[in-house]
Chains A and B, each alone.
Chain A
Amino acid sequence: MSIQVNHLTKLFGNQKAVDDVSFRVGKGEILGFLGPNGAGKTTTMRMITGYLSSDEGEILVNDTPVTEENTKIRAMIGYLPENNPLYADMYVREYLRYVARVYHVDNPLKRINEVIGMTGLSKESHKQIRTLSKGYRQRVGLAQSIIHDPEVIILDEATSGLDPNQLIEIRQLIRDLGRDKTILLSTHIMQEVQALCDRVVIINKGKIVADDNIRMLSQHLAKSYRVEVLFSRPVVDTTFQEMKGYISHVPSGTNKYIISGNDENLNEAIFDFAVSKNLKILEMSTRQESFEYIFQQLTSSAS
């Protein structure tokens, strides 16, 4: 049970939508697939599900190549596309019954009830899909993607449009599923990746810019330290250079600066600097290298 992508390339005209992408997702792993809009996430996922064919490279799901003709491999994949397309005029149970029939699910009625319970659809299961709120539609989308108990689940922005409570429930469900399945989850919400994923692949302009454990990634990138300081009076720009380990600074308000340095004890260096210049420090806070910041750095540096 795995997804293996090797040197995948997809061209739309002359434009490389996906450019030499390789990664692997193993069993029991939830891989976050992160990137700005238009980075090639959806295109990659469409190729893995067999909707689009690749121009170069290969995709192996459970060590079997994915091709347009191979319907057997498609039965092992559960897919929730972006924007969650549904037949609005069908009823929830009717729709799930139809999906179960397409996948030849054994004992479909039992399985439909199971899936309805798992996704928390019980109260809404007798309704027409058209009448459901966005959060419940998303649950229907999730339910159809797992009804045949697939080994590999591909979720393209699965939690968009959910309110905070629904978000927690659905994330828990994805986490539970992730224990014994292979999940590839695309998103552009950083918290999602932090909350759910063990590993993250960051893609920008069709290329992979990072493939790492989330914690490692933050450490890896934290080459510089940043501290925000409020001084009692303005500081002449050039005098900053007397600070130990100084790299750069940016004004962030009246007498307020964000200072970057390569000294591990940047805070102490700033204190010493203030003393030597007869400045008073009114406020000082260390800037956390947040995941957003890492993401911005990675995706903007590649451009």
Chain B
Amino acid sequence: MKAVYLRELGSYFSSMIAYITVGLLLAVLGLVLWVFPDFSLLLTPFAGVDSLFTIAPLIFIFLIPAFTMRSFAEEKQAATLEILLTRPVTALQIVLGKYLATLTWLAIALLPTLLYVYTIYQLGSPPGNIDLGQIAASYLGLFLLGAVFCAIGVFASSQTSNQIVAFVLAVFFCFVLYYGFFFISKIASFSGSLDALIESLGIDYHYHSISRGLIETRDLVYFIALIGICLTWTWSAIAKRS
């Protein structure tokens, strides 16, 4: 597993993939949070980085599928998966190795945004007048959300040898899970009956629950279960071969 993980991570950073995706994330976040007046952290009356946690999931819906689309699709296309499966590693080790590599990338992508928090921390009046506990919880929520998107992306990639198909599938699944259930729950005929249940199926609901600074077991279980389901499906697709 370690070999697969290291190769995967190496391939991100020895090519432009990691730099471009992380760079793009930071550029878009930087523009929205510091330049665009509607969301600018500098113009809000409170010292907080809430906009970051509203904007980041939107970027993730497109950025993470773009990043993960190659993970299995490329290996299927090049037939390197065949040779990998004849080596002394199990399908599960391959899936976990690849997935952990995407999580590492996610952590590295999020790391520089701590600079925004530090900036706002310093700008508070007096400096440091900022709810660090809530921000830490929000980061946990954002990381879990990204981890779910990564699992969805890896799963979509395992279903096809075409990277574009993997990308489109992953964006679709991420979108449905993040916004879909929220909007479906707003349909009038569900009002007062199923709306709460449907809303709680979506990522949005649990993400906001954690972002408020309240880390509940059921939210954690929700995220971990989603990741587990996606990775199990991925594993069975890879173990089944073609």
CA distance A76 to B163 in the complex (A): 33
Are A87 and B6 touching (Cβ within 8 A)? no
CA distance A13 to B11 in the complex (A): 37
Given contacts A81-B79, A87-B11, contact A72 B88 (CB under 8 A): yes
Which residues of A from 63 to 107 have beta carbons under 8 Å from B? 68-69, 71-72, 74-75, 77, 79, 81, 83, 85-90, 94, 98-99, 101-103
Which residues of B from 68 to 97 have beta carbons under 8 Å from A? 78-80, 82-83, 85-90
Q: List 17 A-B contacts (CB under 8 A).
A: A50-B86, A51-B82, A68-B239, A72-B88, A74-B88, A75-B88, A77-B86, A81-B86, A85-B79, A86-B78, A98-B6, A98-B7, A99-B87, A101-B6, A102-B3, A102-B4, A102-B88
Within the complex, the shortest CB–CB distance from B148 to chain A, in Å, comes to: 28
The residues of A that contact B79 with a CB separation of less than 8 Å are 81, 83, 85
CA distance A81 to B78 in the complex (A): 12
The one of B11, B83, B89, B241 in contact with A71, judged by C-beta atoms closer than 8 angstroms, is: B89
Are B83 and A85 touching (Cβ within 8 A)? yes
Judged by a CB distance under 8 angstroms, whether A52 is at the interface is yes
Binding site for A on B (CB under 8 A): 2-4, 6-7, 10-11, 14-15, 78-80, 82-83, 85-90, 239, 241
Judged by a CB distance under 8 angstroms, whether A49 is at the interface is yes
Given contacts A72-B88, A90-B11, contact A81 B3 (CB under 8 A): no
Are B80 and A87 touching (Cβ within 8 A)? yes
Are B88 and A87 touching (Cβ within 8 A)? no
Within the complex, the shortest CB–CB distance from B171 to chain A, in Å, comes to: 24
Judged by a CB distance under 8 angstroms, whether A46 is at the interface is yes
CA distance A69 to B91 in the complex (A): 9
Are B90 and A89 touching (Cβ within 8 A)? no
Are A89 and B86 touching (Cβ within 8 A)? no
Are A81 and B82 touching (Cβ within 8 A)? yes
CA distance A68 to B86 in the complex (A): 9
The residues of A that contact B2 with a CB separation of less than 8 Å are 101
CA distance A99 to B2 in the complex (A): 12
The residue on A at minimum CB distance from B74 is A87
Given contacts A98-B3, A102-B89, contact A81 B83 (CB under 8 A): yes
CA distance A81 to B80 in the complex (A): 9
Given contacts A52-B241, A90-B11, contact A74 B87 (CB under 8 A): yes
Q: Is the interface of B mostly helix, strand, loop or mixed?
A: helix
Of the listed residues B2, B7, B83, B85, the one surrounded by the most CB atoms of chain A closer than 10 A to its CB is: B83
Given contacts A68-B239, A87-B80, A88-B78, contact A94 B10 (CB under 8 A): yes
CA distance A101 to B4 in the complex (A): 9
CA distance A98 to B11 in the complex (A): 11
The residue on A at minimum CB distance from B239 is A68
The one of B11, B82, B88, B239 in contact with A103, judged by C-beta atoms closer than 8 angstroms, is: B88
CA distance A43 to B175 in the complex (A): 40
Are B6 and A71 touching (Cβ within 8 A)? no
The residue on B at minimum CB distance from A77 is B86
CA distance A88 to B85 in the complex (A): 18
Given contacts A74-B87, A81-B82, A102-B89, contact A89 B4 (CB under 8 A): no
The residue on A at minimum CB distance from B87 is A102
The residue on A at minimum CB distance from B77 is A85
The residues of B that contact A79 with a CB separation of less than 8 Å are 83, 86
Are A85 and B80 touching (Cβ within 8 A)? yes
The residues of A that contact B82 with a CB separation of less than 8 Å are 46, 51, 81, 85
The residues of B that contact A49 with a CB separation of less than 8 Å are 86
CA distance A79 to B85 in the complex (A): 11
Are B80 and A86 touching (Cβ within 8 A)? yes
The residue on B at minimum CB distance from A52 is B241
The residues of A that contact B241 with a CB separation of less than 8 Å are 51-52
Within the complex, the shortest CB–CB distance from B20 to chain A, in Å, comes to: 14
CA distance A68 to B239 in the complex (A): 9
CA distance A199 to B89 in the complex (A): 33
The residues of A that contact B6 with a CB separation of less than 8 Å are 98, 101
CA distance A99 to B239 in the complex (A): 20
The residues of A that contact B4 with a CB separation of less than 8 Å are 102
The residues of B that contact A103 with a CB separation of less than 8 Å are 87-88
CA distance A77 to B83 in the complex (A): 11
17 additional A-B residue pairs with CB within 8 Å, beyond A50-B85, A79-B83, A81-B83: A50-B86, A51-B85, A51-B241, A52-B241, A69-B90, A74-B87, A85-B78, A85-B79, A85-B82, A86-B80, A87-B7, A87-B80, A89-B14, A89-B15, A90-B14, A98-B3, A144-B83
